[in-house]
Amino acid sequence: MKTIGLLFVLFAIYGCSGKPHVVQPEVEADNSRASKLYVVSHGWHVGLAIAAEELNPVIPDLKERFAGAEYYELGWGDAGYYQAREITTAVTLQAIIWSQGAVVHVVALPVSPVEYFPWSDVVDTCLTAEESDSLTRYLANSFTQDESGNLSELKRGIYGDSQFYDGEGRYHLLNTSNKWAAKALKSAGMELSPTFKLTADSVMDFAEENRRDCAE
């Protein structure tokens, strides 16, 4: 019985470890591309930025917290590592071996991501309405929400006007912040397998090679 119980616990842990799951876009009603998604390199991980008006209807709490924001940049990662004041070996090992949960980092941008991150590598791509819808639903699913759809605020963020929120899923070697970003790209209609997109460079290279221009 103990063995069965242990297997059940391990199944439960790894069953939710892949969260948030990819949201497949619906069949496109048309091919017009007008919604921009920005992929931002921060060296060891990437962030995703979209217009606030795209995400506010899906996550109303963000509009209330970040009134007047033009864009949001989001990142996902281990709760302990991402929020740590000092990155130590112990903090790093705990994130890799036994993560205590995930968080979402949200930054309100008053200008475009290209202007806000002038020293970072930023790749933009344009999405159809259906791709934008599936992407925003994936991003919304990255947050832990109560029955009323409210978010759970944690610590203030690490730069600019930013905030940490309780997130869905569990961080580990095969479910990293960069894989989270790769799943976002797949949710945005890009044809890729997120499984091996575990580094920032691999995500940025794919985004650059497969970006689409805006077209009405």
Confidence of residue 79 (pLDDT cuts 50, 70, 90): confident
Q: Residue 116 and residue 113: Cα distance in Å, rounded?
A: 5
Residue 18: the pLDDT is: 77
pLDDT at residue 120 tops 50: yes
pLDDT at residue 165 tops 60: yes
Residue 27: the pLDDT is: 74
Structure tokens at 138: 């994936």
Per the model's pLDDT, the better-predicted residue between 82 and 26 turns out to be 26
pLDDT at residue 156 tops 90: yes
Per the model's pLDDT, the better-predicted residue between 31 and 49 turns out to be 49
Choose the weakest-confidence range: 22-31, 69-78, 93-102.
93-102
Give start and end residues of each alpha helix (H) in the chain: 2-16, 52-55, 60-65, 79-83, 89-97, 113-116, 129-141, 177-187, 200-210
Per the model's pLDDT, the better-predicted residue between 170 and 8 turns out to be 170
Domain locations in the chain?
Answer: 25-210
Q: Is 97 exposed, middle or buried (0-12, 13-18, 19+ CB in 10 A)?
A: exposed
Residue 119: the pLDDT is: 94
Average of per-residue pLDDT across 32-38: 92
